[in-house]
Homo-oligomer: A and B are copies of this chain.
Amino acid sequence: MGANMARRLYECGQPITAVFDVDPAAAQHLAAEIHTTAAPDLKAVTAAADVIITVVSDDRAMKRIYNGGLLTRARGRLFINCATVTPAVHRWVEQKCDAKGASSLEACMASSITQARQGSLYLMCGGKPEVFERAKPILEKLGSALRYIGPAGKAAEVKALVNMVMNANTAALAEGLGLGAALGLDLTMLREVFSQTGARSGVLQTDGEDMQNREHSCYFSAAHAAKDSGIALKLAKEQGLHLPLAAATKKQYDRLIKEGLGELDKSGIAELTFKGRHATPG
């Protein structure tokens, strides 16, 4: 995801002074492609740029980079954090940045690789309003829709809710199509009926055909779906809320990971609901 955002910025003519990845080969490959340098460590990233965009996989990776050199001589720098992580981690990052005289903004993406590549991401931003204004010129190159949600952590909350509902709709769709297949129904017909009735949804458009055809090339992995539903469930627990659909969804995605299918696209959840697709019974 980060690489595709870098490619997009490069194509927009935005000067990119350095790229970094935990896998040095990946960073070097990308650096060559977009004519920049691969920074040897996080300290060098911050030294090379005024604005640093981060896209990590989870809370732990986020803490690791902010404790691991990214904030060295960070005064005046602007950090834009695009990963879907726990809201509390965004608040922690803002405090760390404030203490160093740097600024931070969360810019949660409600879209995927294709949109990153085209600069049409839907970006939900959380942080100080003046930091949002400062980040705008770059964000506008990445996203076609920018939305300021509120203080640090608030965009991550909205993002967690978006993905929690999206994942549950995905899991439900997989059940509908799986049962339809078991009943011998024509799934192309069934999807069309769904699209014209109360069963219609965004995931029907993005994942329905893929579920039917077992086309699970990864745009948004099952493992990420499990993580994001997990973030939402953690928030719910803190609020004393019981959310059985979100819990059932998380359980299905956890099961998919356990079966070694976590790197499939989220549509891969249909592997669990179609008869005979996957050996282990539910």
Contact = CB atoms under 8 A, between A and B. Distances in A.
Interface of A: 110-111, 122, 124, 145, 147, 149, 154, 157-158, 161-166, 168-169, 171-173, 175-176, 178-180, 182-183, 185, 189-190, 193-194, 196-203, 206, 232, 235-236, 239-249, 251-252, 273, 275, 281-282
The 6 A-B residue pairs with the shortest CB-CB distance, nearest first, are A242-B282, A168-B172, A166-B198, A201-B201, A165-B199, A110-B197
B281 A197 contact: no
A251 B176 CA distance: 17
A275 B241 contact: yes
B248 A183 contact: no
Nearest to A109: B197
The quantity of this chain's copies bound in the complex is 2
A196 B245 contact: no
- Main secondary structure on A side of the interface with B: helix
Contact of A164 (B111, B145, B175): B175
B243 A179 contact: yes
B240 A244 contact: no
